[in-house]
Amino acid sequence: MYERGVAVFAITRRGVETALKIKEALDFKGINSTVYSPPKYIKQGVVVLDKKIAEFVKDTYSKVDALVGVMATGIIIRAVAPNLESKLTDPAVIGVDVTGKFVISLLSGHYGGANALAKIIAEGIGSTPVITTASDVTGKKSVDELAKNLHLTIQNPESLVSVNAAIVNSEQLVVVLISDVKVATTEMGSYEIKKAENGAEALEIINNFDAGVIVTHEPLLITKFNKPFTILRTKNIVVGLGARKDSSADSIIAAVDTALEQVHIPLTSVNKFATVDIKRGSEAMVKAVEQLGRPLEFLSVDVLRSLNHKDLSPDSKMVQEKIGVGGVCERAALLVAGENSKLILKKTKLNGVTVAIAEAE
């Protein structure tokens, strides 16, 4: 999350001091951020903000994952308002008072990650996070939060208001998994989980509750139903692999399990594994993926080298010298995941094994 970075902007001397503390807290968590301020308050590590706040927000809105304004929330709201599109695409927007006493999640609390980011900032600068989304206040997960945490696509976003209303009002909600779909149950909260073979059977189950969530691999064509329900679709998940020659099958499996756990994705949601074609002769790699029970796709060095993607980590000189490309697992995952893919887990090393995870709609 927050791969495109966070823009932290302030317009007063005190605000810039707080903004730099926020950057330090985000740096500690490995979240890339940039601090902006007017020329008169520039300090080392701060970028000049040479335009009005409204213009800055307009220019930055679609380029970052989060906007953090260290100023009165009224200024932030007026600047952000003309740019609002959808809770599924708008960046997280957070307001922080100039003294850093309160960190307020203003926009895209769940799907955009504003609530989580507000808590990270508050913890880092020793302030109070202010979260007002009803599901968080009542300790329940909203549908869009489930979709975000479980890496699912919301097929019918127009349903979110009615289904989330049912959750907030403590009505009975059921999550129905179609066919062989599996999810990380630890992320589901206390919702009842049922299984169905198809959409019609799922609706029969939901009819016994106040509202429902259907999780499916394939799009469902359902036009009308007497209970509110949201359809969540699984994404194309690909795990990219790299490993030293002396890596064992067990160490590869352990690395994959650890990586999937980090992003709350069960192995059953993985569509493929991918690596470089020189690993065709790796008994450990082939054996590990066979045990994991998913196809393994091999890509040539030339194909891997041809990829230019904003999510890629800096090239490794050692890997470049050994096989002719500066990295394997991230490139392999992105290429096999296909068009519009993105990394949800960048290159992670564990006992000589590198793992990256990509997803695509």
- Best CA proximity match to 170, nearest among 149, 187, 191: 191
Q: How far apart are CA 243 and CA 322, in angstroms?
A: 13
Per-residue confidence at 209, pLDDT binned at 50, 70, 90? Answer: very high
pLDDT at 139 over 70: no
* CATH number of the structural domain 6-132: 3.40.50.11220
Percent of the chain predicted with pLDDT > 90? 67
pLDDT tens per residue across span 253-263: 999 999 999 88
Q: What is the average per-residue pLDDT within 154-173?
A: 90
Angle between helices 53-60 and 73-80 (to 10 degrees): 50
Please check whether residue 70 is in contact with residue 6, taking contact to mean a CB–CB distance below 8 angstroms. no
| pLDDT for the residue 63 | 92
* Three-state secondary structure call for residue 344: strand
Q: What is the mean pLDDT of residues 339-351?
A: 90
User: In the prediction, which pLDDT does 20 show?
Assistant: 96
User: Which CATH number fits the domain 236-360, given the four candidates 3.30.70.260, 3.30.1280.10, 3.40.50.720, 3.30.420.180?
Assistant: 3.30.420.180
Is the predicted pLDDT of residue 47 greater than 90, yes or no?
yes
Which of 340 and 14 is assigned the larger pLDDT?
14
10: closest CA among 43, 24, 30? 43
pLDDT score at 103: 96
Q: So what's the pLDDT on residue 341? A: 92
The percent of residues in the chain predicted with pLDDT above 70, rounded, is 98
Give dist(CA 213, CA 199) in Å, integer.
Answer: 11
- Distance CA(248)–CA(265), nearest Å, equals 23
pLDDT band at 335 (very low <50, low <70, confident <90, very high): very high
3-state secondary structure 229-298: EEEEEECEEEEEEEECCCCCHHHHHHHHHHHHHHCCCCHHHEEEEEEEHHHHHCHHHHHHHHHHCCCEEE
Q: What is the pLDDT of residues 308-328, one digit of tens each?
A: 998 898 988 888 888 899 899
* β-bridge pairing 66-70 and 46-48: unpaired
What pLDDT was estimated at residue 135? 64
What mean pLDDT is predicted for residues 102-128?
A: 92
Tokens of 265: 């994705």
Mean pLDDT of 152-172: 90
Does residue 189 carry a pLDDT above 80? no
Is 227 exposed, middle or buried (CB count within 10 Å of its CB: 0-12, 13-18, 19+)? middle
Give the confidence band of 12 by pLDDT, cuts at 50, 70, 90.
very high
**Residues for the chain: how many in total?**
361
pLDDT at 232: 94
pLDDT tier, 39 (very low <50, low <70, confident <90, very high otherwise) = very high
